Structures are given as structure tokens and as C-alpha cells.
Amino acid sequence: MLIGVVSDTHGYVDPRLLIAFVGVQAIVHAGDVGGAHVLEELGRIAPVYAVHGNNDVPLGGLGLPVRFDVALDGVDVHIVHELPDAQPFAYTRVFVFGHSHRQLVEWRGDVLYLNPGAAGRVGFHRLQTCALLRVEGTRITAKAIELGAREKLQRPARAVMPVTQA
């Protein structure tokens, strides 16, 4: 099973993310979604399992939980946005988190810690990123994906008022 892993979209679905997720059978979103439209667009690709992040709180958390546990192809995955909210089970094999905008793929004992980085345009990161998680029986692998340089936010043009002297 191929799983797309994403975090910190902050309301933006990068077309490069959609290309990276071609062929995935599920998508995990580790919070700071930024709007229901992100979940809807990702949901056109595959089922989405998501949690809300700190920046989703003003949006009512988008109806998403703080943490979520799901078995994907028989592998138990624990999803949170911020590490202090984590409550993984003893049998958790993959721990997905976001918030830091920094990618991490690291085995700690029998648990794979996976932070896909940030796929959105908001934040300090220079690259927009995601990850692919593959589950084949008992074998679990993950690959960090660089989508490319962070795109600039499109800011509305400001109206300039002429300065007059009295």
C-alpha cells in the first residue's frame, strides 16, 4: 500500500503535491490543513485521514481530532500535529506528526517517526515537501519528497494614496 503523507498545507494545495501523490491509496494529513477545500481536493485522490493543527483551531478545528489512530494495510499509524499531543499505543508502528515544517524519517526502535515537512506556502521553510509511506506486509519504508522551492504568497495589490502637500 502506498500512502501520501502531508502536513502544514495552510490552505494551499500545491499542484506538485498532487503529482507526487499519483497512485497513492490513502493520504495522511498531519494538521494545519487551512480549509475544508484542502481535504476535499486531496479526497479526490484517495481517502484522507487527518488531524487539526494549531492554525486550524480558529477554523473550529475543521471538525478534525487532535490525534487519530488508523490501521493502514494492517500497520497501526498514530497521527498528531504537535508532539505534546501524542498518545501512541504500544503497538503503534508509524508515528506521523507535523508542525515543525522540518522533514524527518527516522526509526526509533520499532517505530517509524515521520514528519513530511510543510507542503504549504506559509512559514519559514525554503522547500515545500511531503512524504510517501509504503507498507508491504510487515515491511515499512518511507521516502521524503521535495516538491521544490517554496512558492511566494500572492498578496493583493495595495491601493496607493497620492501624497499631497498643504
| pLDDT (0 to 100) of residue 115 | 98
Is residue 81 within 8 A of residue 100, CB to CB? The reply is no
- Does residue 142 carry a pLDDT above 70? yes
CA distance 36 to 60: 11
145-156 tens-digit pLDDT: 999 777 776 655
Give the sign of the dihedral formed by CA 135, CA 32, CA 67, CA 44.
Answer: negative
**pLDDT 10s digits, 43-78:** 999 999 999 999 999 999 999 999 999 999 999 999
101-122: pLDDT as tens digits: 999 999 999 999 999 999 988 8
DSSP states of 17-74:
HHHHTTT-SEEEE-S---SHHHHHHHHTTS-EEE---GGGGGGGGGG--SEEEEEETT
Q: What is the pLDDT of residue 163?
A: 57
Domain 2-149 has CATH 3.40.50.300: no
The three cell numbers locating residue 72: 493502514
Residues 127, 114: Cα–Cα separation, whole Å:
17
